[in-house]
Amino acid sequence: MNKYNINEKQEKEAVYRSLVSPALMDELKEKILNVIVMQKKYKDKNYSAKQLAVDLGTNTRYISAVVNVRFHMNYTSFVNKYRIEEAMSILLDKRYQNLRIEEVSDMVGFANRQSFYASFYKVTGITPKEYKQQHTSATSMSAAKRKANDIYF
């Protein structure tokens, strides 16, 4: 996976992770999901782990520990996962078919095209453009087959 300079990181065991009680981790997990997913803060390119910690009345080490232990990724990967999922929906939505990839990137909270492409590739294994082409051609072919079947039956 050296495309887009993506390197797999070795997982290190941080001591502070074990200092957060399981009950507190569960509580913070729910609060993090509420803020990031339900309130869609992932769309805000300036919303950081530091701001999340302030909003939840905790510190960034606790945020980091919870995200690492409960979601098995770092904060940036966690937020980018939701951005990419939304981007995938937008790329296939006919209402947004005329948007450029950069506009989709901006809509879901990426600061620049480079980080969007790198994150998208890391999650899906293909570029946003390839994703859109693959899925729109598959949809077009399905529609054409249905139309052909309607003619003969």
Domains, the chain, with CATH or none? 12-72 (no CATH), 77-153 (1.10.10.60)
Confidence of residue 136 (pLDDT cuts 50, 70, 90): confident
DSSP 73-121: S-HHHHHHHHHHHHHHHHHH-GGGTT--HHHHHHHTT-SSHHHHHHHHH
pLDDT in tens, 42-76: 999 999 999 999 999 999 999 999 999 999 999 99
d(CA 101, CA 92): 12
Per-residue pLDDT, 135: 87
Q: Which of 56, 70, 60, 55 is nearest to 21 (CA)?
A: 70
| Mean pLDDT value of segment 110-137 | 94
The whole-model pTM stands at 0.80
Confidence of residue 4 (pLDDT cuts 50, 70, 90): low
